[in-house]
Amino acid sequence: MQVLVLMVPVFFGFMGFAIDLGRLYMARNELKTAANAMAIAAAQRLNGTEASIEAATAYARIPIDASSGVANKYDFGGSTIGESNGTLNSEEPTLSFYDASSAAIGSEGSTGGEAGGATAKHVRVVVRGEAPTIFWRFLAIGLDGRINLAAQSVAGQSAPVCQACGVEPIAVQAISIEDTVDFGFVPGIRYTLGYLCTGGPTPGALANTTSRVPYVMLNRYNEGATFLADELTQLYRIGSQGLPPASDPATYCLRVNAEEPVWVNAAPLACNANRVASQVSTFLCGLAARFDNATVPAVCNAVNESDTVIAANPADSDLTDVEDYTAYTGNNRRIITVPIVETAAGSTMVVLGFRQFLIEPAANDSTINAADQNGRFAALYLGSRIPVKQGRIDGCTQFAGPGKVVLHQ
């Protein structure tokens, strides 16, 4: 009798190990999943602007937002994260932003505190929640039948990608290939990207830009396409959203060190002809759709299925002429990730790396002039600010360039 009574607390302790501890581990695993989702979401929104912290924080809330009925929850999918259900309390997850991954992980010897929106590239998310205990609540370790749990996740931009998918396939000529970080471009300076032409005279730069940098279309014509198959439609689509998603990386992605031929029907013309191929104008119409996704520019009236293409993607939410990139508040639609080559040419070129530009509207307008006879548009050089959507980081050596979002921890 006495032995059995004495055994009861011991027995409860062991039951606690089996049931309560198992439940705690499970709840923590669920919290970890939520933290992972939140960290990846937040890191996707870090674009190097002052508004990015707020945007990332709001976007990170989506994985645990239960207003639509579904969300990442914990404790057998029963308790909402970041809310209290009366007995169990889950604090609002905390996000902290860093410019270096070592600081975000908090590794030993790392310096640098939290970063502001202009430099933040990594995010640490801590998710907390209370889990109930059944057996341990009768023992001293139960703490009112609740135990605090926490899970942490760190995500951010990876090393520079060697293969970037969904980017804009225009080869921009480097100003200086000695400069491995910016290829001679200066961040925050506007350049005129003008379509390459042969002979002279070279077309001038647009107003408010420093110089004209030549570019050419790289050939990504998908002859086997069954939908939106027309060549001009494909160009329009590429201009409006970058390379269209496909399972084959040869059509969807561009690789560093790969040889890329020029788009056959968009070969450079003589400069003194003062015109570009309709393929180039169509691509520019696509870029214009990033400002205005309701009207097709007059020069592209003949493009088939332009309505389908234009409706698929939203316009940028910030159409202003951006002087200081950190003040940009848009949704990244105007940012293009382009391959940089040593010399833009009418033959094949080798991709040196990827860099990003922000397309600027034409003077006194809210969109670009797609009908420009020299295929020119103004763009602010950014360097490597936003992570590419898809890509691979293996297979080349890059000193700088955009990365993709990865989970560090």
Footprint on this chain of other proteins (rule: CB under 8 A): 1, 4, 11, 15, 18-19, 22-23, 26, 29-30, 33, 36-37, 40-41, 43-44, 58-59, 62-63, 65, 68, 70-73, 76-77, 155, 158, 165-166, 227-228, 237, 241, 244-249, 252-253, 305, 308-309, 311-315, 317, 331, 387, 389-391, 404-407
40 vs 154, beta carbon nearer other proteins = 40
Q: Are 290 and 316 in contact (CB under 8 A)?
A: yes
Closer to other proteins by Cβ: residue 159 or 345: 159
Q: In angstroms, give the least distance from the CB of 30 to other proteins.
A: 7
The nearest distance, CB 404 to other proteins, in angstroms, is 6
How many angstroms separate the most distant Cα atoms in the chain? 107
Q: Measured from the CB of residue 239, what is the shortest distance to other proteins in angstroms? A: 14
- Cα–Cα separations (whole angstroms), residue 188 to 2, 49, 167, 336, 390: 81, 12, 21, 15, 25
Q: Which is nearer to other proteins, 34 or 322 (CB)?
A: 34
Q: Tell me whether residue 24 or residue 196 sits nearer to other proteins (CB atom).
A: 24
Least distance to other proteins from the beta carbon of 219, Å? Answer: 18
Pick 31 or 262: Cβ nearer other proteins: 31
Least separation in angstroms between residue 362's CB and other proteins is: 23
Q: Which is nearer to other proteins, 390 or 409 (CB)?
A: 390
The strand pairing partners of 89, in sequence order, are: 84
Task: Identify which of residues 38 and 174 has a Cβ nearer to other proteins in the complex.
Answer: 38
Q: How far is 282 from 236, CA to CA, in rounded Å?
A: 5
Q: Are strands 348-359 and 170-173 parallel, antiparallel or unpaired?
A: unpaired
Contacts of 189 (CB under 8 A, 6+ apart): 210, 380, 381
Taking the complex as a whole, how short is the minimal distance between the CB of residue 241 and other proteins, in angstroms?
7
Q: Report DSSP state, residue 25.
A: H
Q: How far apart are CA 136 and CA 146, in angstroms?
A: 9
Cα–Cα dist 343/162, whole Å: 20
DSSP 29-67: HHHHHHHHHHHHHHHHT--SSTTHHHHHHHHHTGGG-GG
What distance in Å separates the CA atoms of residue 46 and residue 316, rounded to the nearest whole number?
16
Cβ of 198: how many Cβ atoms within 10 Å? 13
Cβ of residue 77: shortest distance to other proteins, in angstroms?
5
Closer by beta carbon to other proteins, 204 or else 245: 245
**Taking a C-beta distance cutoff of 8 angstroms, is the pair 313, 292 a contact?**
no
Cis peptide bond N-terminal to 201, omega within 30: yes
Q: How near is the Cβ of 359 to other proteins at its closest, in Å?
A: 17
